[in-house]
Chains A and B, each alone.
Chain A
Amino acid sequence: MEVLMPQLGETVAEGKITVWFKSVGDSVQPGDNLFEIETDKVSMEVPAVSAGILQEIRVRQGEVAPVSAIVAIIAENGAPSAPRAAAAAKPAPASLEPYREVRTPSRNFGPAALANGTKVSPLARRLAAESGIDLTQVKGSGPHGRIHAHDVRGSMTAAPVVAPRAGISPAVRAIYKDVPFEEVPLDAMRGTIARRLVEAKQTIPHFYLTGDVDIDFLLRLREGANAEQAVKLSINDFIIKAFALALQRVPAANAVWAENAILRFKHSDVGVAVSIDGGLFTPVIRKAETKSLTAISTEMKDLATRARERKLLPHEYQGGVASISNLGMFGVREFSAIINPPQSTILAVGAGQRRPVEGPNGGVRFATLMTVTISCDHRVVDGALGAQLLAAFKAVIENPVVLFL
């Protein structure tokens, strides 16, 4: 039996043995005082808790030992003391969730202050990072020039000059050093477009599906509708709603990639590329499948107007599941577009053209055909799924009555 240095008090770490009442070889009974210890708090006698012969004293009179040290050995029934049993198992380390001290979004949107000392609000930093705005070019309107979110939004529309990126431009310039050129500085929009499209083309595994759709019926319907009301519907308005309905009919394609999951949506928010001077915006028509063609047309005109004035708010061009890019009005027959991240598809629409097709009884007739190409993110939309989406779009656009239902 090992005699341990007891803990005399909750905060005491060691004890000093001031007196030994027993000597090696003495027999001891439970309750017999063995020794007296003294701590910074108390002194007290320590009795034996078992009977036997005091075999060994390890901490002698006047010595100090830490709590739980073996002070002496008592041989029970004359037998030598058994080796000390292994200490009780320590509890397993806790893997609990109550310690939620840090839940700040893990993404860092840059430092709180610029090199020149200007402070930037957290929201302003996030907006700038998301839109590729160079904060050194933004003037802060807050106290001590602090940059707020509305300063960043203002700089998106004011198109401040962004300094040319050192390291790349000199090499390019060198190649053309003998050719006369005018250097056009990048504005924020150009920077954002460049960054996002490089990112999209490099990180999204694109593939492309092309097909022709017959729009003769659609053109007749449009003519009839426009004769009835002041709001004039464009072909693009029909395409927006038709693509939204197609996405609704193929729910697995009404989804986007979110790195560790796929987000599948209830509604179909469809972006529409709007070309503006010096770049483009892709404002989003929310819940396009639920809106009338007239509503889509009115909303689209407003968004396009404000896009050209660079007055769109971020929430008007962020998000969406898919986009439409229509170059038909420029006479383009067909093309493929780069997906607008984080969306998963984009519909590239060519010009409607009169083309000869096989007639009902082996003859030839002319129909108005439009060639469309869907670019798909293969992580979300596989080939067959993309084909279903294209077929659904074709079915809706060739029977456009459903667009009025």
Chain B
Amino acid sequence: MAELSYRDAVARGIAQEMERDPDVVFLGEDIGKAGGVFKATVGLFDQFGPLRVRDTPISEQAILGAAMGAAMTGLKPIAEIMFSDFIAVCYDYLANQYAKSRYMTNGQVKCPLVVRTANGGGARFGAQHSQSVENWCMAIPGLKVVAPSTPVDVIGLLAASVRDPDPVIFLEHKSLYATKGEVPDGEIVDELGVAKIVRPGTDATILALALMVPRAIAAADKLKAEHGVDCEVIDVRSLVPMDMQTMLSSVSRTHRLFTVEENPRLCGWGAELVSIIADEGFYDLDGPPVRITTPHIPLPATDVLEDRAIPSVDRIVETVRRSLGS
């Protein structure tokens, strides 16, 4: 057991899988000799060499296309898209190629690969380097979408993604790279499609993802201390496949539902969860489900504005408190 940063967990997770399986290869911009623009892949180039850890030109379509060609002929590539915003320039591969090849070919073409990308805001990078694009990914049948919030989950979920036979979009949060957490020694392998209750509680269920998880936990602690409201916080972790049973079961105990989403409001993941829970958990609800999201705006660059846009601990506390009437 040792303390590890989220950033270092990325490199450890990739190394764990590359050591295990020679079919795992890694490509992307500045990932090799430079160790990644977020320094999340330091050491891999030296350990595995230039044929397995390949620096690419600034060619997002070629990166994702080559990953697919390698995957469909037997390798298990990990491709890095430096900022998740850049998925927009290579979205064809996610939306049209990876997601549909198995279905269209009646199961002939397989696409076992992972696209890692730095997602989310808080780094004052402005509207084209700060977005939360999970809803771009989860809208496409055939893709899996994962977003870890802790170093140990980075390693375990990355291992599960690499070993998964379907294409997985792995959303790392750039504002979590510096955070640290306890990580056990040895191999770590988690499971896709399992949400985690990270803080048990009785009065309301708060669903959160990635950077919003630590904020939701901090808000729950504050709600308990200052208002006597005991919230259960669930780290959704995997948007596809989605662990509805854990979330429905929580709401059946707490009877109130909040989502904390960094994505802009329209069609955020919380909308889908709320719609399912409003249907299947209807008579467990003792009040309207409430979504706490970034407004439907592009993200601004400067800190005072960006901090107002993305859900904060205080906004979560205030919204839950007001909605519960505490």
Contacts and interface: CB of A to CB of B under 8 A. Distances in A.
Chains A and B share a contact (CB less than 8 Å) = yes
Interface of A: 102-105, 109, 121-126, 141-143, 146, 148-149
Nearest to A102: B279
Interface stretch (B45-53, B180-188, B209-217, B280-288): B280-288
A121 B287 contact: yes
A104 B279 CA distance: 5
Across the A-B interface, give the 4 residue pairs with the lowest CB-CB distance, nearest first: A123-B286, A126-B283, A149-B286, A121-B286
A123 B325 contact: no
Q: From DSSP, what is the main secondary structure of chain A's interface residues?
A: loop
Given A142-B325, A143-B325, A125 B279 contact: no
Nearest to A103: B280
A121 to B, nearest CB: 5
Contact of A148 (B280, B282, B286): B286
Contacts of A126: 283
Contact of B285 (A122, A141, A142): A122
A122 B280 contact: no
Contact of B286 (A102, A109, A124): A124
13 contacts: A102-B279, A103-B280, A104-B279, A105-B283, A122-B283, A122-B285, A123-B284, A123-B285, A124-B286, A141-B325, A143-B325, A146-B287, A148-B287
B255 interface: yes
A142 B284 CA distance: 17
Nearest to A125: B283
A142 to B, nearest CB: 7
A168 B279 CA distance: 38
A143 B285 CA distance: 15
Nearest to A101: B279
Contacts of A148: 286-287
A146 B285 CA distance: 13
B80 to A, nearest CB: 34
A109 B282 CA distance: 11
B143 to A, nearest CB: 17
B255 A123 contact: yes
Interface in B269-317: 279-280, 282-287
A122 B257 CA distance: 13
A104 B275 CA distance: 11
A149 B255 contact: yes
A314 to B, nearest CB: 12
Nearest to B325: A142
Given A123-B255, A149-B255, A142 B282 contact: no
A105 B282 contact: yes
Nearest to B251: A123
Interface string B104-145: 000000000000000000000000000000000000000000
A26 B310 CA distance: 77
Nearest to A150: B286
B283 A142 contact: no
Contacts of A149: 255, 286
B308 to A, nearest CB: 26
B279 A122 contact: no
A122 B325 contact: no
A103 B325 CA distance: 30
A105 B255 CA distance: 15
A109 B283 contact: yes
B10 to A, nearest CB: 36
Nearest to B252: A123
A370 B177 CA distance: 73
Contacts of A124: 286
Contact of B287 (A104, A109, A125, A142): A142
A142 B326 CA distance: 11
Interface-centre pick from B279, B283, B325 (highest chain A CB count, 10 A) = B283
A109 B285 CA distance: 13
B280 A104 contact: yes
Nearest to A123: B286
A109 B287 CA distance: 15
Contacts of A109: 283
A109 B279 CA distance: 14
A109 B280 CA distance: 14
Contacts of A104: 279-280, 282
B285 A121 contact: yes
Nearest to B283: A126
A286 to B, nearest CB: 16
A102 B282 CA distance: 11
B243 to A, nearest CB: 16
Contacts of A105: 280, 282-283
